[in-house]
Structure 1
Amino acid sequence: MTTFLLSVHVLVAIIAIGPVTVAASMYAPAVRAALRDPGDVRTAGVVGTLHRICNVYAAIGITVPIFGFATAASMDVLGDPWLVTSIILTGLAAVLLAAVVLPWQRQLLEEIAPGGATGPAGAGHANPAAVTARTKRLAMTTGMFSLLWAVVTVLMIARPGSTTGV
């Protein structure tokens, strides 16, 4: 059963967390591209699509820690320091995504394309310089989200101090 749970945990992590990490990292540059060409509906459409990808895969990603806890329980490692650290970092990544990245994406999308990328790109922004500055903050925050996942991945593979082997 442990092998099954671990396999599902890893597969869901790859399938759910990978796309949200990539789409989130592409978001700020896509917003800047939409600002450069405010009449191009396609660039706003890309921004809208990236935001939808982030939302959908973030929702699917909720299953990653569920299967992770089940796997850890079956391996009897719930109290191991590497796992506790991973749980804390995963929680931080989830909060960062849900409370900062996704809302900032939504705000930027509304500014460049009111109505969620159905109108012309650039139609809703009042100050392109301010929007560009916010995309830089979003890119930095998204980078922190990605870094948290990278550290969690390394901890899951290396399991420092684990007695169950590598």
Structure 2
Amino acid sequence: MTKFLLAVHVIAAILAVGPVAVAASMFPPAARRALATAADDLDDPRGSGAVGTLHLLHRICRVYAVVGVVVPVFGFATAGRMGVLDSAWLIVSIALTALAALVLVALVLPTQTAFLEGGAGPERAVRLAMFTGLFNLLWAAVTVLMIVRPGSTTGA
């Protein structure tokens, strides 16, 4: 059962967090392009132009953020089965995961929404790129901790 839970946890992380990381990273450059060509896309906010791209990327981020809730759920189940819930590396991973979720929900998604509502300028694109980079850096740190597991006695 542990191997099944771990497999679902890893697959969910790849399929849920991966698209958010990629779409969120693509959003700031697409936002800068949209700002540069805003006059061309204003008539068709959900069209195939730069603004349409922003809507698509934001939707991917929102939907996969919700799907991403599966990752910690199966992570806790796996950790419980492995008996490592009190391990320092796991506690740090949980804290970093919570921080990444907070960055996504409180900083990345609202800033994306501001772009879609037309209330953001070029300086906001820079801030959004920073928030997105922080989100991705936190997930990279969690991934490294999950692989290296400092102090693990499992031998892996």
Give the TM interval when normalised to the shorter protein: over 0.9
Match of 2:69 among 62, 67, 80: 62
Instruction: Output the TM-score relative to the length of structure 2.
Output: 0.93
Alpha-carbon RMSD? 0.9
Distance in 2 of aligned mates of 1:136 and 1:103:
14
* Percent of residue pairs identical: 60
Deviation sequence 1:138-161 (CA, Å, 0-9, x none): 100110000000000000000011
Deviation sequence 1:55-114 (CA, Å, 0-9, x none): 000000011000000000000000001000000000000011011110111011110xxx
- 2:151 match: secondary structure: coil
Within the alignment, does 1:92 sit opposite 2:99 as a pair? yes
Report the count of equivalent residues: 149
- Give structure 1 stretches of 5+ with no counterpart: 112-124
Question: What does residue 156 of structure 1 align with?
Answer: 146
Within the alignment, does 1:13 sit opposite 2:3 as a pair? no
Distance in 2 of aligned mates of 1:15 and 1:28:
22
Runs of 4+ in structure 1 displaced over 3 angstroms? none
Instruction: Output the TM-score relative to the length of structure 1.
Output: 0.88
Letter aligned with residue 152 of structure 1: V
Question: What does residue 120 of structure 1 align with?
Answer: none
- Give structure 2 stretches of 5+ with no counterpart: none
Distance in 2 of aligned mates of 1:165 and 1:75:
13
Letter aligned with residue 144 of structure 1: L
Question: What does residue 33 of structure 2 align with?
Answer: 33
